[in-house]
Structure 1
Amino acid sequence: MVFHKEQYELSAAYEDVSNSLYASEDVLKKYSDESSKVTSATFDLVSSQPQTSTNTAGVQRYKVGTVTLGLLCLLLSILIIYLVLSTATHHNTLTGEKNELMEANFDLQVSYQNMSREQDELRRNLTKLVSLHYSLTEERDGLEKINFDIEANSKNLKEEKDELKRKLNDLASEANLFTNERDTLKSMNSGIQVMNNNLAKERDELKSNLSESVSQLNYLTEERARLKNIILDIEASNKNLKEERDELKKNLNVYVLKQNSLTQERDDLKRMNSDIEAKSRTITRERDDLRTRLNTLNSQYRSVTEERDGIKSILKNPEWVIFKGSAYYVSKTEKNWHESRSYCRSVGADLMVINSNDKQSFANGFNKYVWIGLTDLETEGTWKWVDGTTLTSGYFSDGEPNGNTKENCGNIKRYGDLKSWNDETCSKSCNWICEKKLA
């Protein structure tokens, strides 16, 4: 709006200059006619009367005054032409700088749109991976429900029911976490959509401003041609120089104001370019964050897939027994404690850790002399489980452990009693129990 107002004022100034010049031409013609009449009358008077010294002196003064006036007019015209040309040249320079800034602005806008499209592509990939993650999670939940159905046929139905309730609460909490994550992604998607809409509006505004600038450039070109014609007209004028000089000074002030306005507009465009560059850097950072989240989801996807495959393989193997969220395998062969543990770890499990009455009764139910994951090899007298936890209370038989430094590995020996543990030489060959966590 400011630029249009200044353009209108510039046009009005040009029209005032043109009107002043045309008025100067009319006055000059009128003056020339009167001068011709005076000269003709003077010649008639000279031809009809005798020539005197007084008339000669008057004619001389008239000629000198006319020549002097003409020279002054010529000098003033040259000065005015120089001022107008200088102003026009400076105006053209500012217009060129403005066009260069707008071209740079357009290039930045194209780069910004490319990064926006790349950002949208990354978000679509993120949405697909999140959907796949939900699908795998639902499949995992289904497998866990199958495990719970199998456990329903086991002992201690009341305690297993409580355990299922607890796991159900955990799953509900996990579902809430997934729901919150989905809502967060939706919120982020809405914010990005709003940003894209704002960018589209800014792009349309820049296109509109570019069209207006092209129109203004064409108008300035036409005005330059008009100024050339005005200069030619000024060179032909010889009268009313003082009034024309004052008028041109006013127009010169208008040009100075226009110049200041163009300078301000150039500074505004520079600031706009800086803002666009800042937005571009922000979008680049957001794109990098999305890539990081995408890599994280890929890792989670692979982990869930591996966990699902492990559960499927266990469910297909009848030698594994499911009990309270874990799978257990009792060997048919005998090995020493270290070899037994190596076998368990090779199938993604470890020797059994017994930390409750239920698990103790469950282990005794196999009715076998088996290794468990208990040892004091690290520090004599300090028994630890293979998961790193220290034994605080256990199920050693009366008088056990009693082997001191010779017997450093634990097993189930008297499985007919609740307190069935025994310390044994680690090199002895026994059956063993592997334990694999399912969740």
Structure 2
Amino acid sequence: MSSIIVQGVSKAYKVYKTRFSRLLEWVSPLPDPKHVKKWVLQDINFNVQPGEALGIIGINGAGKSTLLKLITGTVRPTTGNIIVTGKVAALLELGMGFHPDFTGRQNVYMSGQLLGLSNDDIERLMPEIESFAEIGDYIDQPVRVYSSGMQMRLAFSVATAVRPDVLIIDEALSVGDSYFQHKSFDRIRQFRKAGTTLLIVSHDKMAIQSICDKAILINAGKIAIEGNPEAVMDYYNAMLSSKETVNKTIKQEIVKGTTTTTSGTGEVRVESIELLNSKNAISEIVNVGENVTLNVLVNVKKDVNELVLGYMIKDRLGQPVYGTNTHHYNYNLYNLKSGQKLCYSFKFPLNLGEGSYSIAVALHDRDTHIGNNYEWKDFALVFNVINADKKQFVGVAWLPPEVSINER
């Protein structure tokens, strides 16, 4: 059984004032430290159970890559314990372990041996590795002539040639083309179904939410939040927007058992949100293709120069289905005064498949919430779509075709 247990892990590096301070510390007979400790990670705790997938997110420099190096054993923790059971395959840095002057084929043998494969195993697996990497004749060229995408293709192909018990992936897949990313994630999903424990670092919201069971957000070397991937990604996005304005807040609330994230300065707030069915009645259950109206009542708390309202419909995994805002329809409002109330109405056919959906709402200026974010509220509304009278189909979109068959 494969698992990862991280208990009270912290990592600090020694920082010396001058290049001679380290030598003075070594030779000095007195316990007189010449360094200060810079803590990269502090008190990290989490468990990844057998067959579970954990996503790790955070801004650059938060400590994500250091954490993966600690888990794989390439770096030792300053305090705490890490227990990893099972055969581990890791893809931490692009082309890590590849020698630039050796050919791709030679590097496959070296990397395979580091993974515990014998030469006979590698020779048996080589056709599959070549086929999956799809780099053609470059397999017999020096790695130094490879593009970053080619290095990633080969590194991933070697690391996953045999299903590992534990698969650890850093941002390496982000350099690949869309085709190979889809191919790689398909293999990862197959591994998950077969019981592989997965640990993945990525800024790709789609990847985290579609593959992972849970996620953690690391900020300034500490775990800021742990939970389901959608809630963590929402919190992460809110945290990013909060960096743009000093007085913004981020908070977690529980609505109908669902974690929702609200952030913003509070200068404009969402007072209510409702979905009306084709009969203009408030409803949480609507039919496929039904004409609906989304009403959002907002309250201006302080004078603002500009106001834009945006909404995003997301499926049950938190992946965006459709989003837009009033800026794109030239409905920006200007010079609003405290105390004003406005009701926004959006009418559209709900061409969605059966399932549960949520709506996130954002109030801001300009074209995105990254500027002045007055309020951003995830899970502002949850509704369900049923198929009451349409022909059977699958998927999140209702795209009924006109079918014709002609003999040729």
Q: In which range does the TM-score fall when normalised by the shorter chain?
A: under 0.3
Q: What is the TM-score with the length of structure 1 in the denominator?
A: 0.17
- The structure richer in strand per residue is 2
* Bigger Rg, structure 1 or 2: 1
- The structure richer in helix per residue is 1
Q: What is the TM-score with the length of structure 2 in the denominator?
A: 0.18
